């Protein structure tokens, strides 16, 4: 299952939410929030975990969905 990363408006700002984060990231502009979300997704994909970024508009409509497939072998615990 892919890691879910959501970009959505919050008041005058934009948030990036994911279970991979300890707390939401807050940005003054949606473009900056989307860039941060996609960079986070790229980092997880590089470590072998697929990620999906969903970007929502201020009216609640889904503006875009970006899939970042895993491109490295998943890290395995030493036996």
Widest distance between CA atoms in the chain: 50
Residue 79 lies in a domain: no
pLDDT of residue 31: 95
Residue 29 lies in a domain: yes
3-state secondary structure of 43: helix
pTM of this structure:
0.86
> What domain range includes position 7?
3-68
Residue 35 lies in a domain: yes
Residue 73 lies in a domain: no
Cβ count within 10 A of residue 2: 16
pLDDT tens digit at each of 79 positions of the chain:
899 999 999 999 999 999 999 999 999 999 999 999 999 999 999 998 999 999 999 999 999 999 999 986 655 655 5
Residue 64 lies in a domain: yes
Number of domains the chain is built from: 1
How wide is the angle at C-alpha 31 spanned by C-alphas 27 and 33, nearest 5°? 40
């Amino acid at each position: 299952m892919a890691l879910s990363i959501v970009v959505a408006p919050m008041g005058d700002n934009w948030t990036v939410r994911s279970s991979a984060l300890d707390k939401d990231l807050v940005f003054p502009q949606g473009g900056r929030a989307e860039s941060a979300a996609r960079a986070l997704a790229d980092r997880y994909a590089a470590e072998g975990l697929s990620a999906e970024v969903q970007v929502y508009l201020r009216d609640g409509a889904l503006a875009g969905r970006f899939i970042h497939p895993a491109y490295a072998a998943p890290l395995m615990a030493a036996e």
